[in-house]
Structure 1
Amino acid sequence: MDCIFCTMEKFVLENDLAYAIFDKYPVNQGHLLIIPKRHTANYFDLTEEERLAIDDLLFQSKQFLDETYQPDGCNIGINCGQTAGQTIFHVHVHLIPRYKGDMNDPRGGVRGVIPDKQKY
């Protein structure tokens, strides 16, 4: 198995079951990925303990971003399956810091995954 997330060694944050790294292709400065240590393709196949570990790191990561980058907001996203845009088939949660002015009209947020549906 050649999974880039299974061979990571340097983490921003970690706990027993998950870790956080900077996204290699960030949407914004500070964009983090929270990843379970066990190789699992789909979020819905995680154990309850893994989901709790990821949630714990989401909160720690948000505090890290607030202290380091002072974002004005954030988006949290998970792509589940190729149709949803998943390209690395190891669960990873995007924590994307948002900054005033990073786009003209951010209304609709994650609805922008289908651009015609973002504005309502």
Structure 2
Amino acid sequence: MTDYDSSNIFNKIIKGEMSAHKVFENDDAIAMMDIFPQSRGHLLVIPKAPSRNLLDADPTALAQVMPLVQKLAIALKAALKPDGIRLVQYNEAPAGQSVFHLHFHLIPVYEGEELGRHGQGKADDTELAELARSIAAQLN
């Protein structure tokens, strides 16, 4: 695998070395609230298999995580009632990637509200925990 640095923050969260506002976790992936959200309810879906991004990801890992991306988008829509959901995935720094472990952004879009900039403006931890619980409740 090309240039994968296992000390990245997402790998630390996967290994339990750092905390996160988790929405879902299984053997293949973890879903959590983005602490620098572009909108209320911004989720990250992170495959546990190590890869820098989509360009070096194992196709098997992608096949396992994409149904989860869909399931979480449906739960997000049910919990927060956004007008739409944007799916974003960045590959390399010039494209906007800031954490070099493959991850997918599920960004709720609310009519008439501008999205925040990627990676800026830390959210309130209490609100993130509440949002995580609300979205997780829709998975059951």
Q: Does TM, normalized by the shorter one, top 0.5?
A: yes
Alignment of 1:35-46 (within 5 A): 35-46=46-57
Question: Is 1:4–2:9 an aligned residue pair?
Answer: yes
TM-score, normalised with respect to structure 2: 0.68
Q: Which amino acid aligns with 1:35?
A: I
Match of 1:23 among 34, 52, 57: 34
Runs of 4+ in 1 over 3 A off after TM superposition: none
Superposition CA RMSD, Å: 1.9
- Deviation, 1:38, is 2.0
Report if the CA contact (8 A) 1:14-1:57 is conserved: no
TM-score, normalised with respect to structure 1: 0.78
Structure 1 spans left out of the alignment, 5+ residues: 107-112, 114-120
Structure 2 spans left out of the alignment, 5+ residues: 1-5, 119-140
Q: Percent identity?
A: 34
Aligned length: 105
Report if the CA contact (8 A) 2:77-2:85 is conserved: no
Report if the CA contact (8 A) 1:35-1:93 is conserved: yes
Please name the residue that 1:116 is paired with.
none
